[in-house]
Amino acid sequence: MPSGMINLHIGMRDIEHYTLSNGIRIVHNRITTTKIVHCGIMLNIGSRDENPQNQGIAHFWEHMAFKGTRKRKAYHILNRLDSLGGELNAFTDKEKISFYASLRDVYFEKAVDLLTDITFDSIFPENQIERERNVILEEMAMYLDDPEDSLHDEFDNVIFTNHPLGMNILGTQKTVKSFRRSDFRNFINDNLDTSRIVFSSVGNIPMEEVIRLAEKYMGHLPRKTASKKRKKFTKYKPKEVVMHRNVSQSRCAIGRPAYALSDERRSAFFMLVNILGGSGMNSRLNWALREKHGYVYSIGSHYFPFSDTGLFMISFGTEPKQMSKSIQLINQELHKLRNEPLGVKQMNAAREQLFGHLAMTEENNLSFMMMMGRSMLDIGKILPIEQTYDRIRNTSPQMLLTLANDIFDESQFSFLRMEPK
pLDDT in tens, 196-234: 999 999 999 999 999 999 999 999 999 999 878 899 999
Parent domain of 137: 6-218
DSSP character string of 254-280:
EEEEE--TT-TTHHHHHHHHHHHH-SS
Cβ contacts of 6-10, under 8 Å, gap ≥ 24? 8/382, 8/384, 9/384, 10/382, 10/383, 10/384, 10/385
Q: Do residue 201 and residue 279 come from a single domain?
A: no
Res. 272: pLDDT tops 80: yes
Rg (CA), the chain: 23
Which residues, other chains included, contact 23 with Cβ-Cβ below 8 Å and sequence gap of 6+? 193, 194, 195, 197, 223
Residue 267 covered by a domain: yes
Residue 253 covered by a domain: yes
Task: Give the pLDDT band (50/70/90) at residue 351.
Answer: very high
Structural contact between residues 285 and 318, judged by C-beta atoms closer than 8 angstroms: no
pLDDT in tens, 377-409: 999 999 888 888 899 999 999 999 999 999 999
**How confident is the model at residue 357, as a pLDDT?**
85
Q: How many distinct structural domains can be found in the chain?
A: 2
Task: Give the pLDDT band (50/70/90) at residue 4.
Answer: low
Task: Give the pLDDT band (50/70/90) at residue 41.
Answer: very high
Mean pLDDT of all residues in 176-181? 97
90: buried, middle or exposed (CB in 10 Å: 19+, 13-18, 0-12)? buried
**Residue 113's CATH number:** 3.30.830.10
Residue 230 covered by a domain: no
Report if pTM > 0.75. yes
Q: Do residue 341 and residue 391 come from a single domain?
A: yes
Among 136, 131, 144, residue whose Cα is nearest residue 170: 136
**How confident is the model at residue 54, as a pLDDT?**
97
Higher pLDDT, 148 or 318: 318
